[in-house]
Structures are given as structure tokens and as C-alpha cells.
Chain A
Amino acid sequence: MTTAPPFSKVLVANRGEIAVRVIRACRELGVRTVAVYSEADRHSPHVLLADEATCLGPAEPEASYLNIGRLVDAARAAGAEAVHPGYGFLAENPEFARACEEAGLVFVGPPSHVIAALGDKDRARRLAERLGIPTVPGHPAADDDTLERAAHALGFPVILKAAAGGGGRGMRVVREPERFRETLASARREVKAAFGDDAVLLEKYLDRPRHVEVQIVADRYGTVVHLGERDCSVQRRHQKIVEESPSPAVDPHLRSRLGEAALRLAQEAGYVNAGTVEFLLDRDGRFYFLEANTRLQVEHPVTELVTGVDLVHLQLQVAAGQRLPLRQEDVVWRGHAVEARVYAEDPERGFAPSPGRILLLREPHLPGVRVDSGVQEGQEVPVHYDPILSKVVAWAPDRPTAVARLAHALQEYVLLGPRTNLGFLLDLVTHPAFLAGEVSTQFVEDQLAAWQAPDPPPEAVALAATLLAQEPRGPAPVASARAPDPWERLAGARLP
């Protein structure tokens, strides 16, 4: 199928794996790309991959990836028609969408007023209530005293959340009343640093629910379809780390009810482009609206693998004013997909970020496995941004095979330099409760809180000792004495 490219040129206002993902999608559609980068990301893969690249400024996000003025200027200077925000940074910032709109740039996402309406969690929640979609009891963003009184009225435990923005930033569970003030202050600081606004809201913390979300996509002409659910119950520090589709807890009947709730919310909000409606699912199969994310999600590949739909292609097409090329009855689900997020962090030390230079990188290559990566060997993983390195996504006709493929891929994945969560993920996806599909948002805390990497077997100790017995040497590779070096013979020869 050949259609005209949706745009001639798109600026990708992000970094890392999602920038790489969007640039590749643009390339497939014949769209030229402009990458942006901070001084810390000069050697990131997305910079070289794009057709053009513009340096935004210093490493600090406020000076680079969060700098609306610089981004809009860069897009106009490069002659871009549209801006794709990725996820995180300014993806859910209505002012950025508005600045693009005012500069005559197409923002690849919903209109700014829709982002503002749904991105404000209090407003989104009132919208859901008006539509008869159940919500978790809570209290909207307010001052410290009001929130503390509300927490006592709801009863502990409660959960604090950023009123604007997602990704688990600022999210804190408070179990003891005497920790409330201290925790609220810390949540406000983190939220302020991430989104520039310290509004925090409060919800009753449900006991061991699942996190289930519905992918929707809408065009400008009122057509909205849902692409089924993703189960993102496995989280650490309230950030998803393993996601799958379909959810082991959702049957076709529940799927259509969840999908219907998501579609009604999207239609009522005048939604356009790709988005996600998040729910908590309790142990009795009741679901509660949590929030709507007005952007592409980190975990979108699992939906792509089970539906065969390329969400970034659709985003670009509907942003260009094209009609959705599929109706609800065209959406068919096939097989099972599961994703694991690879982070530069130390699971043995509370998942503390672990920046540094990547000294060796071997990504897995297996049938049915997709790796969305944003890093390369030799690159410095900067301290300034979210520590995600890549996502490993496995597909198979059934869940056990998909999970086994993911485990094999994690085992083959070699990344040396920064510490990573690869070993932790391997133990997670081979854990009996995960294999049985019996997880909740508390799974990591319940089952893997005291996780320690296994001790090295004797052969690892022996190999390490022989390597460390030698004096450290320079970076020059050791030439093999056996085979003559073919490059030697080329010396002096002219290559065509």
C-alpha cells in the first residue's frame, strides 16, 4: 500500500528509545525527521538516526527537553510541519501543545484543551463520574492541611499523586498518619521538579488491585476505536516494569466493558489521536477509572504485537487529518505479548539509578522478540533523565511461550557498565506467581522486596580471578596471533 506521507518533516521532541521508535516510524512513512538533544545526549543514537539534529542546550531538562521556546524555534527553523512529543517531558503539557498550535505546527497528540481537561486528574475523574464510570474515592489537589484532613477521613493507607503528569512521579503510599506531612512534602518536590507544578491529589489506596489500561485511538471525524487492554500490574516505585496484553484477568466480556467505558470517556472529551484510559481492577472483577494518558505509552508495543497495528503510524496519520484506517470490528487480537523495561538502576539498592558509560552491549536476537533500544555501546547514560535504556518485548501464540521467550531474551541481553535490572527482571518473569498470571500492583513489594542477585558460581569466581590476576591494560584489543589480519593486507590499498 502506498499512500502519501502524512507530513514532509517531523520534529521529535524527545530522547532515548522513544525518539528512536518515532524516528523509525517516520522513516517508514517517508517523513523526514529532526532530532533534538541536550549537551549530555550528543552521542545518543536518536541524534545520528534522524535526518537532522538540533542541540537544545545544557543537560538540565528545564534548559533542553522541557524548554518549550527552544523546541518550537527548532521546529520552525528546521521547517518541520509537525512535532511528536513521545512520552514524558512535554508530552502531556497543554502549554506545549498550544505553543505548537500557535506556531502553526501540528502537535502529534490531542488538541491542547483536551490535554488540559484529561491531564487534570480531578477534572478527568469528574468527567468519568458524570458518565457513570466508577472511580476510586479520593480528594482533589489542595493545600497540606486540607489533604491531611481528607486522608484521615478516607482512612489510611492513602496514595498521593501528581495532579498533572504521570509515570509514577511523586507517587507515594502513606500507611502511617504520622508520616503524612513528610511524605507529602517530598511528593510535592518531586512533582515540581518533573512537571513544574507541585499540585498533589489524594486517593484511597486499594488493596492489591491490578492495573489494567485500554488503548484508544481517535481521528478528527469522531471515529474512536479501542485496541484492547494491557495489564501493567507489575510495578516498582509505582512505575510499570513489566506489561502484557491481553491481561490474564480479563475475559472477552470484561474486555468489551472496559473498552466501552474507555470509548465513552474519549468521545465525551472530544479525544483525537492515541491515548490510554487506565483502570484499577479489584479481585472481584470491579474496575475503577484511574486516569487518562493523552499520549503514546511506554508499553505501547505489546498492543502493537497482538493487534498488528503500528500506533505511531496511526498517530502521524490522524494528526495529518487522515481518517482512521480501521473500525472497531477490524480490530482482532492474536496471541500474547509481554514487555520488560530495562533500566540503568540497582535493584539491590532500592532501584537507585545507576548512570555511567556502557562498556559492552549485546542485545538479544530471538524469534518473536523485539527490542526497542535508545542506547549504544560507548555511550554515557546521563544522570539527568529517566533511567530507561530499552524495552524487550516478546510475542508468541500463548502466554507461557511469550513469557519463556522474554526470559531467554533477558538472559541473552548483555549490558555492562551501569548496573541494570536485567537479573531482577529475569527472576521476576520466572517467578511462580508471575507465571501463573497472579500479580497485583503490590507484587514486587510482596514477593521481591528483599531481592538479591544470586551469588556467583565457582566458575564465575575462577574466571574473574584469572582476569583480575593480570595487570590492567589499555583499551587496545589484543590481536590474535593465529590468523593474519585481513586489514593488514589492505594497508595502502585504495578502496573503491
Chain B
Amino acid sequence: MSVRVYLLYKGRQVPVEVRGSGDGYAVRVGERELRVGWQELSPGVAEATVEGVRLRFCYARQGDALQLHLAGRVYTFTRTREEVEARGARPEQDVRAPMPGLLTRVLVEPGQVVAAGQPLYVVEAMKMETVVRAARPARVLRVLAREGEQVEGGAVVVELEEGA
């Protein structure tokens, strides 16, 4: 088997080629090819050999998202089904909720011009208020949630149009 896997790590795409199966893989990461084998000891706990080095890792998978604990660090990867266009050409045009929580205050209205650093809305979760601010000067296009509503982490609450 040979599979090309597109991994997303912190929004960056890492193409990886995986060949083999069972307890022996050849994995190409960038310019390097690594020989990888692992065996699950109990659900989520596994022992691996990478390039002859033995290591213990833990993981949890939810659909296409994976958290991997290795040597005291947790890395979160997502598998995307196809190659994603390099981002950066289009500026971030919306301001997403940093966490799930209660939208306690919306401080802007559609049409309003906001300065960099101006507070847009306030989310409360776990008894803590987080003020979400505009990163750059912009005009508010739409406000997509109401005060008192529960919002999901990553939900678009305010849509901004830059260069206004």
C-alpha cells in the first residue's frame, strides 16, 4: 500500500507518503524517509520503533483529527482529504470565537468601522471573560450571533471587510 496523507499541523500542510502496512512502514516526510513500526499495547498506548529507536507514544483519534503524545509533548494533527491551496493570499476576514462559551456582549454593528485592537465581542467560558479584538482596521460586514447565545469554538461571530 502507498498512500499520500495530507496532514495539517497548526494550519500548515505537511504532505507525507506512507508505504507498507501492519508493523512496518516506510514514511517519507519532506526529504527524509523513516522506517516506522508500532504496536498498540492498550487502546491509545503504543510502542514504536522509528529508525531503530524504540519509543512509547500515546494517541487519541477522533475522525480525521489525531492527538499524539510523544516525549512529554502533545501534537495535534488533522488529515485533509486533498491538497489545500496555500493560504495567505486571502486575509482572514472573519473573527472566530476562541473557545466555546456564552456570547455575553457584542460591541459592534454591521457597517461600523473598527480600529486595530478595538473590542468586537466578549465570550465567557469557565468563569473567564475573553475580549475578541480586531487585528487590523476593518469594516463590520455581518454579526452572526446574538448576545446571550452559546457559540462553538471557532464559530464565526463577526465578519470583517478589510481595507475599509
| Residues on A facing B (Cβ under 8 Å) | 61, 169, 182, 186, 189-190, 193-194, 237, 346, 349-350, 352-355, 359-360, 362, 383-387, 410-412, 414, 416-417, 419-420, 422-423, 426, 453-469, 472, 477-478
B136 within 8 Å of A (CB atoms): no
A385–B18 touching, CB < 8 Å: no
Given contacts A350-B98, A422-B74, contact A463 B36 (CB under 8 A): yes
A385–B127 touching, CB < 8 Å: yes
B residues less than 8 Å from A458 (CB atoms)? 29-30, 32, 34
| Residues on B facing A (Cβ under 8 Å) | 3, 5, 7, 9, 14, 16, 18, 25, 27, 29-30, 32, 34, 36, 38, 40, 42-45, 48, 50-51, 53, 55, 57-64, 66-77, 79, 98-101, 104-105, 119, 122, 124-131, 153
Neighbour of A362 across the interface among B36, B58, B99, CB < 8 A: B58
Give the top 5 A-B pairs by smallest Cβ distance, nearest first: A411-B72, A359-B60, A416-B60, A465-B16, A353-B126
What is the bound-complex CA distance between A186 and B5, given in angstroms? 45
A residues less than 8 Å from B129 (CB atoms)? 186, 189-190, 193
B71–A411 touching, CB < 8 Å: yes
A44 smallest CB distance to B (angstroms): 15
A residues less than 8 Å from B122 (CB atoms)? 186, 189
What is the bound-complex CA distance between A321 and B117, given in angstroms? 56
A171 smallest CB distance to B (angstroms): 11
Neighbour of A463 across the interface among B43, B50, B100, B105, CB < 8 A: B50
- Total A-B pairs in contact (CB under 8 Å)? 173
B74–A416 touching, CB < 8 Å: yes
B residues less than 8 Å from A169 (CB atoms)? 127
A383–B126 touching, CB < 8 Å: yes
Given contacts A383-B126, A462-B27, contact A412 B44 (CB under 8 A): no
What is the bound-complex CA distance between A367 and B40, given in angstroms? 27
B residues less than 8 Å from A461 (CB atoms)? 7, 9, 14, 16, 29, 77
Given contacts A353-B99, A353-B101, A468-B79, contact A426 B70 (CB under 8 A): no
B27–A466 touching, CB < 8 Å: yes
B42–A477 touching, CB < 8 Å: yes
Among B53, B75, B130, B131, which residue has the most Cβ atoms of chain A within 10 A?
Answer: B75
B63–A416 touching, CB < 8 Å: no
B68–A463 touching, CB < 8 Å: yes
A27 smallest CB distance to B (angstroms): 29
B59–A462 touching, CB < 8 Å: no
Among residues of A, the one whose C-beta sits closest to the C-beta of B126 is A353
A residues less than 8 Å from B67 (CB atoms)? 359, 416-417
What is the bound-complex CA distance between A466 and B26, given in angstroms? 9
A residues less than 8 Å from B70 (CB atoms)? 456-457, 459-460, 463
B65 smallest CB distance to A (angstroms): 9
Given contacts A182-B119, A416-B74, contact A462 B29 (CB under 8 A): yes
A177 smallest CB distance to B (angstroms): 16
Given contacts A186-B131, A352-B130, A354-B99, contact A464 B58 (CB under 8 A): no
Given contacts A352-B99, A477-B43, contact A360 B125 (CB under 8 A): no
B97 smallest CB distance to A (angstroms): 9
What is the bound-complex CA distance between A194 and B43, given in angstroms? 39
A residues less than 8 Å from B105 (CB atoms)? 189
What is the bound-complex CA distance between A477 and B45, given in angstroms? 11
B107 smallest CB distance to A (angstroms): 9
Among residues of B, the one whose C-beta sits closest to the C-beta of A465 is B16
A379 smallest CB distance to B (angstroms): 14
B18 smallest CB distance to A (angstroms): 5
B33 smallest CB distance to A (angstroms): 9
Among residues of B, the one whose C-beta sits closest to the C-beta of A183 is B131
A456–B9 touching, CB < 8 Å: yes
B73–A454 touching, CB < 8 Å: yes
A residues less than 8 Å from B126 (CB atoms)? 353, 355, 383-387
A459–B75 touching, CB < 8 Å: no
A residues less than 8 Å from B63 (CB atoms)? 472
What is the bound-complex CA distance between A457 and B53, given in angstroms? 14
What is the bound-complex CA distance between A472 and B63, given in angstroms? 6
Neighbour of A410 across the interface among B45, B48, B72, B75, CB < 8 A: B72
